[in-house]
Structure 1
Amino acid sequence: MNAAPEPAAPRASGTKAELRRRLLAAREETTEAERDRAGSAIRDAVAVLPQLSMGGTVAAYYSVGTEPDTRKLVATLWKQGVYVLLPVFLPGGALDWAAYEGPDSLAPARFGLLEPTGPRYGTEAVARAAAVVCPALAVDRAGRRLGKGAGCYDRALSLVGPNTLTLGVIYDTEFLDEVPAEPHDRAVQGVVTPGGGVRML
C-alpha cells in the first residue's frame, strides 16, 4: 500500500496573505491613544540617529489609519532642517517623491493617503537619501519586511545603496522571528518599535 503523499508546503504568497490578515486585524484593535504614544516613542528613537538628524535628505512616509504614527517624526525632522521626502504613489505601484513642507503641503490622495503636493523629483530621488523610513506590517530578525502586497517599497529599496540606512516601522508585537519572503523582497537594515526603539539587524 502506497503511503499518502505529504501535503504541499504553503506557498509564500499564501502565507503572506494570511499573516497580513492577522496583523491588520490586530492593528484594528489599537486605540488612538496607543497610536499617539507609539508615535512619540518612534519619533524620540529615530530623530536622534545621525543619518536622520544631520540635515541631509530622509525618505519617510506619512502614516494613516492604524499604522504606527510617523507624523510626529516627519514634523520633527523637518523642523530640524532635514529635507524630508514623502512618497507619491504612481499607477503601476512605483513611488515618486516630493518634499514635505509642513502639514499644509499635503493633500488627500488615493487609498486614504496624504501626499505632498509640491514638485515631484522622480522615482530615483530615494537613492539620494541618507535614510529611508518605510512602512511594514512585520519585520523579522533577518530584516525581511512584510508590506501590504503592492511591492512599492521593494521597488524603492532596490534603488538605494548599501550606505543608506533603511528602517521598517512596526509595533512591538510585529517584530517576528521569521517573515515569509520571495526573491523580489528587499530587507531593511533595522527596525523601530515603540517599546524597543531602533534595533539594527
Structure 2
Amino acid sequence: MTAREDTPGLSDEKRLLRRRLLDARSARSDDERAASTRALAGHVLDLARDMRGPVCCYLPIGPEPGATGSGATTVPDALLAAGHEVYAPIVPAEPGPLDWTRYDGPDGLVEGKLGVREPGGPRLGTAAVADAGLVLVPALAVDRRGARIGRGGGYYDRTLPAVPASTPLAVLLHDDELIDHVPADDHDVRVGRVVLPTDGVVAVRNNG
C-alpha cells in the first residue's frame, strides 16, 4: 500500500459518505447558502483579525460553504475587503502539493487547467503556504477529532504538512457538517478548527 492509498475498505466508506454529503449540499436553497456565507464571512474575519501573514483560502464555488449567492459576498472577497492578503490555490497538472498565487478579486480569474477559474497572476510556489497566518481548507465534513473528508483528490493532504504547527487550519462548514465520525487514514491531515454559521469558530481535537 502506498502513502496515498486508503486502508482496505476505507475507500468504500469514504465514497458513500462523500456522496451523501454532496447530495445534501446540492439540496440547499440559494437563500440558505447566502445566509450561511454571510455568517461564515463574519466569523472568518473575526478569526483572521489579529493574525499576521496572508490567508490561504480556496475559492468556494457552487454549494460550497462561503460561496456567493443571493447578494452574499464570498469569504475570500470579504477577506480582501477587510484588507487581508489572500493566496488562492492552483491545482498542479500532476498529483502533488498545491501551488499558490495572490487573489485580487473575481476580475482577475482565468480558466484553469481543470476547468475551474483561478487567479491568473504569477505563481508563488508550493512553499508559499508556509507563510500564511491562517489556512482555510475545503472539506465536505469534519468530525470531533479534526478528521476531514474532501472530494478525494488528496491535494491538501500533500500540501498541509508544509504548514507550521502554529498556523491555524480551519474548515468552513454548514452547521450539520460537523459530524460524529469521518473515516480517516494516517495520511489524512487533520484540522484544529471548523467555522460554522451558527456556532462560529469551534475547536476540534487535532491529532495530526
Is the CA contact 2:52–2:133 (under 8 Å) kept in the aligned structure 1?
no
- Residue among 41, 49, 55 paired with 1:58: 55
- Give the corresponding residue for 2:81: 79
Distance 1:184 1:54 in 2: 28
Contact 1:137–1:147, Cα closer than 8 Å, also in 2: yes
CA contact (8 A) 2:93 2:113 kept: no
* Alpha-carbon distance in structure 2 between the residues aligned to 1:113 and 1:98: 15
CA distance, structure 2, for counterparts of residue 112 and residue 62 of structure 1: 13
**1:173–1:87 distance in 2 versus 1, CA, 3 Å:** same
Distance 1:62 1:52 in 2: 20
The alpha-carbon deviation at position 83 of structure 1 amounts to 1.2
Going from structure 1 to structure 2, the CA distance change for 1:89 and 1:58 (only over 3 Å counts) comes to same
Contact residue 60 and residue 74 of structure 2 kept, 8 A:
no
Contact 1:86–1:97 under 8 Å retained in 2: yes
Alpha-carbon separation, structure 1, partners of 2:178 and 2:151: 16
For 1:6, the equivalent position in structure 2 comes to: none
CA contact 2:53–2:131 (8 Å) conserved in 1: no
The one-letter code matched in structure 1 to 2:23 is: A
Supply the AA of the counterpart residue of 1:97.
W
Question: RMSD over aligned Cα, in angstroms?
Answer: 1.8
State the distance in 2 between where 1:92 and 1:169 align: 26
Q: How big is the shift at 1:79?
A: 2.1
Name the structure 1 match of 2:198.
195
Residue 174 of structure 1 aligns with which residue? 177
- Structure 1 window deviating more from structure 2 (51-60 vs 164-173): it is 51-60
CA-CA distance at 1:141 after TM superposition: 0.3
Partner of 1:48: helix, strand, or coil? helix
Superposed, which structure 2 residues align to 1:84-103 within 5 Å? 84-93=86-95, 94-103=97-106
Aligned residues with identical type, % of pairs: 42
- 1:83 maps to a residue whose letter is E
Contact (CA 8 Å) 1:172, 1:194: kept in 2 or not? yes
Q: Distance in 1 between matches of 2:195 and 2:108?
A: 26
The count of corresponding residues between Structure 1 and Structure 2 is 192
Structure 2: runs of 5+ lacking an equivalent? 1-6, 68-72
Aligned counterpart, 1:46 = 44
Q: Distance in 2 between matches of 1:170 and 1:110?
A: 27
Quick one: which amino acid aligns to residue 144 of structure 2?
A: R
Instruction: Structure 1: give runs of 5+ residues left out of the alignment.
Output: 1-8
1:69 is aligned to 2:72: no
CA contact (8 A) 1:52 1:58 kept: no
| TM-score, normalisation: structure 1 | 0.89
Q: Structure 2: which amino acid aligns with 1:77?
A: L
Tell me the residue number matched to 1:148: 151
- Residue 36 (structure 1) aligns with: 34
